[in-house]
Amino acid sequence: MHIHILGICGTFMGGIALLARAAGHRVTGCDANVYPPMSTQLGEHEIDLVAGYDAGQLALEPDLFVVGNAISRGNLLLEAILEHNLAYVSGPQWLAQNILRGRWVLGVAGTHGKTTTTALLTWILEEAELNPSFLVGGVPQGFGVSARLTDSPFFVIEADEYDTAFCDKRSKFIHYQPRTVVLNNLEFDHADIFADLGAIETQFHHLVRTLPGNGRIVANAGEESLRRVLSRGCWTPVDWFNGDEGWQAGEPNADRGFALSLAGQVQGRLGRFELAGAHNRANAVAAVVAARHAGVPVAVALKALESFSGIKRRLEVRGTVRGVTVIDDFAHHPTAIRVTLEGLRQRVGRARILAVLEPRSNTMKLGSMKAQLPESLAEADATYCFASNLGWDATAALAPLGGRAQVFDDLSGLVAAVVAEAREGDQVLVMSNGGFGGVHDRLLAGLAN
């Protein structure tokens, strides 16, 4: 079958492309924004890309169009598909019907940490020789791809609460029907599609309603929102973590390892851990407990975590020039920004952190989180905000930071300011959920000159 994917360079739809290719389909796709690592992955798998969404792509005559959730009515190609009554389906529905059916699906849901926890869980199952298939919203360093299809019964998937497609406003994760699900955390996000936190909690409860009685929910005990979700009705056993009554990580040692306890009783120890921060210790605990439901002993899971090497765009070092280190991270929500900075601070100690921020997500562009930004950036010694095309006043929003924050409408000006300020030992942390105009390479080039 020939499948043509609209929005193929998004992390999720790019993963769909890799899975479809592995399943033996001919895959092509189109997108308006093409940048690594997804564009690199697709090229390596001989998946042809078309720039833009012109209606002339109907001439490719695919058997099926798979439509990503970034595609809206008014898109020229989508309108042509509808006008010609051609076959189309959403990405999550195609995945559920063609790849996930009949497999033991382990889904990782939550506002933050989905990608990291999904990658950790996948790595544990891999090291336990369960050879899992997976779809991650990033590129785990140990695999080099964001998606893989194997003959294993286990499939690990990042279970996103964002809507499915222009024609299906349910959350993506409703389609996956997991047997094991991690509910990592839950707070307000995606202001472009959800009116309030209650609306998101309703979608999470829709997910809970699809879980079987022989399944398992691994839930964060520290999140009142998740307790509210489960109080609406739950038909599946729950393992709590991050609370006194459940699974919990102890304080980190010098190598960021920790003891893992259940109800205060130590169940095992992790000698070393690549990822910094309390949020990543919680992610690791969730992954270990979810893997346990799939039959992986705690000791095997903890041993696997010692060799986990991280994920692209999650505190990924892009280069060091003249003693200044440039780091890339996907953080784009105030809570994610805060915990990312706290994790980096734990790693680098008293070294200066220069935060370079692009508020690019739909929620951030709407300004519904702007009041939380100053507090989330507290660990940064200086903040440089790229405010092009924002619908709110970033200078006013960051005013509580005083002289520690600067706002720029011009990317060249931002790069020049960071380069002028940076000195040996500094950590330049770039945070965006997009390509950010290649700012990482521009910073490294500026520092070199």
For a pLDDT cut of 70, what percent of the chain falls above it?
96
Place 82 in a pLDDT band, splitting at 50, 70 and 90.
very high
pLDDT of 434 reads 74
* Alpha-carbon distances, residue 432 vs 54, 385, 397 (angstroms): 28, 11, 18
Read off φ and ψ for residue 378, nearest 5 degrees.
Answer: -60, -35
pLDDT of 346 reads 80
Least confident of 286-290, 313-317, 405-409: 313-317
Place 93 in a pLDDT band, splitting at 50, 70 and 90.
very high
Read off φ and ψ for residue 148, nearest 5 degrees.
Answer: -150, 145
Asked if pLDDT for residue 312 goes beyond 90, the answer is no
Place 249 in a pLDDT band, splitting at 50, 70 and 90.
very high
Q: pLDDT digit string (tens) for 181-234?
A: 999 988 766 666 777 888 899 999 999 999 999 999 999 998 999 999 999 999
pLDDT of 331 reads 72
Structure tokens at 35: 């940048």
Q: pLDDT digit string (tens) for 158-170?
A: 998 888 999 999 9
Asked if pLDDT for residue 24 goes beyond 90, the answer is yes
- How many other C-beta atoms can be found within 10 angstroms of the C-beta atom of residue 383? 25
* Angstrom distance (rounded) from CA 221 to CA 235: 18
Given a contact cutoff of 8 angstroms between Cβ atoms, the answer to whether 147 and 170 are in contact is no
Least confident of 70-84, 164-178, 220-234, 302-316: 302-316
Residue 339 makes CB contacts below 8 A (sequence gap 6+) with 112, 277, 278, 279
Work out the average pLDDT over 420-446.
90
Asked if pLDDT for residue 126 goes beyond 80, the answer is yes
Classify residue 266 as left (phi > 0), alpha (psi -120 to 50) or beta: beta
Least confident of 79-83, 268-272, 311-315: 311-315
Asked if pLDDT for residue 35 goes beyond 70, the answer is no
Task: Supply the DSSP symbol for 191.
Answer: T
- Residue type for position 391: G
Report the DSSP beta bridge partners of residue 210: none
Structure tokens at 21: 């290719």
Q: Which residue ranges form the domains of the chain, and what is each CATH number?
A: 2-92 (3.40.50.720), 102-305 (3.40.1190.10), 316-448 (3.90.190.20)
- Residue type for position 155: F
pLDDT of 363 reads 67
- The pTM score is 0.78
Work out the average pLDDT over 52-81.
96
Asked if pLDDT for residue 362 goes beyond 70, the answer is no
Place 37 in a pLDDT band, splitting at 50, 70 and 90.
low
Asked if pLDDT for residue 173 goes beyond 90, the answer is yes
Place 155 in a pLDDT band, splitting at 50, 70 and 90.
very high
Residue 345 makes CB contacts below 8 A (sequence gap 6+) with 353, 379
* Angstrom distance (rounded) from CA 71 to CA 30: 11
Q: Single out the residue of 44, 49, 182, 62 nearest to residue 112, CA to CA.
A: 182
pLDDT of 283 reads 93
Q: Which residue has the higher pLDDT, 393 or 286?
A: 286
Asked if pLDDT for residue 327 goes beyond 80, the answer is yes
* Angstrom distance (rounded) from CA 225 to CA 335: 15
